[in-house]
Structure formats: C-alpha cells, structure tokens
Amino acid sequence: MKNFTKHLLPVLCGAATFMTMNLNAFQDNSQDSCNAVEVIASTQGTKSDGTSVNADRSDVNAALQTPDKANAGGGFYSLGINGSITLALGGAVYNQSGTDIIIYETSFSGDSCGTSDDETALIELSQNGDIWVEYGSVCRDGMIDFEGLDLDYVTQIRITDTTINSGDGYDLDGIEAVNGCEEIPADFCYGSGALNYVPGLDKDGNALPAERMDTNNALGQPEADDTLNFLSLGYGGEVTITFDGVVYNNEGPDIEVVETTFGNYSFSNYPESADIYVSQNGIDFYLIGAVLTDDAGDLDISNAPIELTYITEVKIVDTTPSDSISDDGFDLDGVIALTGCNEAIEPTPAGCYPIDFFNYVEGTTKNGGDIDAIRTDTPENVLGAPEQTDEYVFTSLGYGGEITLTFGGAVYNTAGPDLVVIETTFQNTWGCDTYREFADVYVSADDINYHFAGTVCKSDNAIDISDAGDFDYIYYVKIVNNNDLSTTEDAYDLDGVIAVGTCEEFNYAAYAEAHYNALNVETLNADQLGFRTFPNPTDGVSYIEFTPKTTGDVQVEVFDINGRKIGQVFNKEAYPGQVYKAEFNTNNLVPGLYIYKVTTGNTSITEKFVVSK
C-alpha cells in the first residue's frame, strides 16, 4: 500500500490578554489614601509663547503620590499648552456618594476660576486603560463625581490641557481618591455548572454521604477553607465543570482547581489527587495536569496536546491512590477561570470544498491486488469541486483504504445535512443496493479524536455532523472504505466532498432532488427483454412479465425511490424464450414511485411503476 501522509492542526483566532490572580486576590487590600502612582504616558506642550516649559516644572513624577495642595512653587508638573498626561491610580476607585476624585492644580492666584490666568484641562477616565470615558473639563482644582458614568470603577485618569493663552498650561499638583482605593478586580470567573457527575465510592466501597454529593458546592467562588462546602468525587469519581463563557488560553496559568482537605494535610501523609482535563467542545478532552492534596493547582491550557485558544469545560477525575487513608477521595472546592469568562471567538468558516488531504492510504482490489495507478496516484483529485463525471478525476480508496480532508476552516454543524460525499460510478445510475460501494465517514475537531458520523454510498451520500456528537463545527473529515459492505473490484471511488453549511452557493434541496431522480433512470430498454409491468399506475396488484435471454437464475426485486429493497417477486431458474408472469401486492405501500429490478447472470434491467390509492 502507498501512504501519503501530512499532518495539519486547526488554526483558531487569537484571544485577548487578561490579568491573572491567585486566591490572595480575594483579600481586601483597600487603602485609606489613594493617589496617582505611575505615569503611563505624557506629552508636554509649550508655553503660550511657544517656548519650552521651565525644567523645574517638567518632572512628571511631581504629579505622583500625595499632592501638597499648597498653591506654592515646586511640587507640580506643568502640562504645557495642549500637553497631556495619563496616570495610574493606586487601585480601583469606586463610585460613592458625592465627589470621588479631586484633581489638585497649583495656581499662585488661588483656587477660584474667573480670572485672566485661569488654567483648564479635559478629564478622561478608564477602568482598564483600553476604553476611555470623557468626563468633561475642570478649571484649576477639579471635583470628579463618577455618578452616571458607564464605569464600574476607575484605575486610570488622563488629563489634557485646554488652557488658552496662559503661561505654561495646567499645573498638576496631584490626584486624591476621596474614599480611597480597593483591590483592582481580577478578570477571573468561577465554575457555573456541573455536568456528568459520576461519584465513586468511599474507602470501604460504600456510597458517599449525601451532604458531600451536592454539585452546587463545587460552583462559584471557592471558600478556600475547611468548611463542609465541597463536592467529594470518591475513589475513581469524576465531574465536569462549565463556565458562563469560554476561558482563553493566555500566557501562564489559566485554570485553578481548588481542593479542600480538613487539617491542611500534605499529599505525603494524606494522599488525594485528581487529573484535570479540558475541552473546547465538550466532546474531546485533553489532560493538562494534576492537583494534589491541599493544592490550589494552577494549570496551563497550553499543556494540552493540541493548540487550544480557549476551553469551555474542565473535567476533574479522581486519581487518589487506592491505599490512601482518605475516606472519600478528592474534595473539589471549586474551579477558577483565571483569564475570565468571555465570548467565544468564532473560527473562520470553511469554503465549499476540501483544500488539502493527508493520511491517504491506498487500499487493494477485492482480491488483494494493486489498483490501477490511474485511480490512485492522484489523491488530489478529491480536492475542490466534484466533477460528477465518469472521467478519471476521482480517487479509489480500495479495500483497507482511507483519506483525510481539510477545508481551510470550520465546517459548521447546521440543521440537516452538513456534508455531501460524491462518488463516481461510471454511468451506473443505480443506488446502494445495486452498486455496492460504501464508505464510512468520521469527523474531527482536532485530528486526534475522530467520531463516526455515518456510512455513505451512491444514493445515500449525505452526512449530518450531529450524528457524530454535539459539535458546533469540525475541521477534518476522514473517508474510510467499508470493507464489509463494498463488493466491487476497486471499492469506493471518491470524487469529492461538499460542505453544505458553509457553501452559500450550494442548494442542497435542489441537488438532492436532481440526484435521486437521476439515480432511478432506466439503464436498459425493458422492451429488449420483453419485460413489462401492468397496470401502471396500479392501486392494488402489480403484474410483471419478462422473457430472459438465456437460461439461468432470474431474480425480480422491488425497490423504493431511494434504492431501499422492499420486496422480492421472483427468484428461480428461467429459460430463454419462455414468458414468465409474477405479481406483487402493493396494498401496504404508500402512494409513489417504485422500481422493479430484474437480474440475470450477467444482466440487470429496471422498470418504474407508480402506486396510486
């Protein structure tokens, strides 16, 4: 056998970057006084006459820490005309009643506005430094109230001079948060749902206590203490935790799994452990690490064997050693998504047809021989739009053969058929029961785990991804010859595959109608064999007459319009020139089009008949 092998991995869109924190972030680190602590950016303007601002007024650090509030020389930073400065505060400043922030400006003529030397500035506020909200202008000292602003809190402030023809612009003494600062909230979230909880047994082989089997105890913010507020997995038990959104794979740890052990034992003297798996689609799970006794395990999604830009589920599987003194195995306190819960990034949709192949394995003929090279040396024939002709523009899989295809993007799982697999049958317009070439179709999101989606043949060639699992989309399609069902010499001849859900120009309904109509065209003129059926249409018994050309076995079968066998009328030896008559009772059939097939040793003919009621 020849093997054409390539290996591809899906390319997903990137993810945003978020702050990560451990359990220490839960502590309240509020400050009694909160000022600007860092200069993020600054651009100093000039004096109103166009000259440079004096050096003793140009130290940006003078705007940091506690303002002196004295209107005295020194201790401030002059923005200059049209200059700007962006400052980070020492924490998160929340909206409370009245003034939240005071901006102190140094003016030797006092704090009141309305004189010729007024100095003004535009104030902008931000929660994270990415999105800014314009507050408005201040003159000299400014009182800032967050009421009505679309901000949960403020961590940065931007001050831009708007002074007109007055010296060296706004002189910034400093900033003070009236009510102090709080800890900046981390962008993490917690498990919100529990799936597939399969409790193990306790050390003695008994069921776990009911109070330790409440899955709600594994959800939300972990208590991180030794209260009875956790979920016991039991020996060999497991549970899957979901989130209100997807968890991005950023640099460093992405998941924290918190375990409770009364007395804060260590693994060496009180062994409890669990393996941690993650999944992007809830179907395929990948091991990323383990958590041991009293360990808030920090786990990196990057440890998965494939590239995952995000995950949606975390599975925790107890691996507590069987000889442990633990009563009920791993006790799950909760799961923290350190990078937050976010909206999923939809992958780029596939086009209509495969753009590449890999893992092509050339099979053999039915008797184990080599397949003609014209059918196998060009597996790229299955790429692009199927020709749907009888030219040699296909690839024979052969017995034991297979090929895996990629589409340059995600093939979405939509309502109804998602894939149409096109086969070449050399002008044989009959369906599966007559032209027995079959292939099994597998789909995958990762090129590691393949899931059976169905078996295709000439007349039954549509695949619904939902039959393989609850996928939103897949990236890979594997076509494998079905060695048990196929009977022809070279087995399944693959012309191509159409991705129905992402091919806007493909009308599946129109295709299906034309395809199935074409499959039932008569391959021979029945009159040549003296074959006829009457009455046609029929509302009861249908009669057939035929005269075989040669001596031999004759078989008369009945099929529906989709090629499914529904009956047999005649099956015995017949002689040439003799007229044979048989009948078929249609009373149990629904009205519609049906087909007789007459098979001799080397000849098959068909005739349509209509059942009307």
Mean pLDDT of 416-422: 91
Q: Return the amino acid letter for 439.
A: A
Taking the C-alpha atoms of residue 609 and residue 599, their distance in angstroms, rounded to an integer, is 17
Supply the pLDDT for residue 518: 60
Q: Are 526 and 551 in contact (CB under 8 A)?
A: no
- Which structural domains are found in the chain, ordered by start? 30-177 (2.60.120.260), 189-337 (2.60.120.260), 356-518 (2.60.120.260), 526-611 (2.60.40.1930)
In sequence order, what are the beta bridge partners of 555?
571, 599
In the block, tokens 């402030």 appear at 157
Q: Mean pLDDT in the chain? A: 85
User: pLDDT class for 20, splitting at 50, 70, 90?
Assistant: very low
Cβ neighbours, 10 Å, residue 179: 17
For 476-495, write each residue's pLDDT tens digit.
999 999 999 998 889 999 99
Q: Which two tokens stand for residue 182?
A: 């709080």
Supply the pLDDT for residue 231: 95
User: pLDDT class for 30, splitting at 50, 70, 90?
Assistant: very low
For 298-319, write each residue's pLDDT tens digit.
799 999 999 898 999 999 999 9
Among residues 523, 610, 612, 597, which one has the least CA distance to residue 559?
Answer: 597
Instruction: Taking the CA atoms of 481, 482, 484 and 485 in sequence, report the sign of the dihedral they define.
Output: negative
Question: Could you give the maximum distance between any two Cα atoms of the chain, in Å?
Answer: 126
- For 95-99, 155-159, 552-556, which range has the lowest pLDDT when averaged over its residues? 552-556
Taking the C-alpha atoms of residue 64 and residue 37, their distance in angstroms, rounded to an integer, is 5
Taking the C-alpha atoms of residue 417 and residue 413, their distance in angstroms, rounded to an integer, is 8
Q: Are 591 and 540 in contact (CB under 8 A)?
A: no
Mean pLDDT of 23-30: 34
User: pLDDT class for 1, splitting at 50, 70, 90?
Assistant: very low
For 387-406, write each residue's pLDDT tens digit.
877 788 899 999 999 999 99
Supply the pLDDT for residue 433: 67
Q: How many residues does the chain have?
A: 613
- Residue 16 pLDDT greater than 50, yes or no: no
In the block, tokens 């030797």 appear at 108
Mean pLDDT of 492-505: 90
pTM above 0.75, yes or no: no
Supply the pLDDT for residue 592: 87
Q: Return the amino acid letter for 477.
A: V
For 210-248, write each residue's pLDDT tens digit.
999 999 999 998 887 777 889 999 999 999 999 999 999
In the block, tokens 């009205």 appear at 591
User: pLDDT class for 427, splitting at 50, 70, 90?
Assistant: low
Is residue 429 classed exposed, middle or buried when 0-12, 13-18 and 19+ CB atoms within 10 A define those classes? Answer: middle
Tell me the pairing of strands 462-463 and 473-481. Answer: unpaired
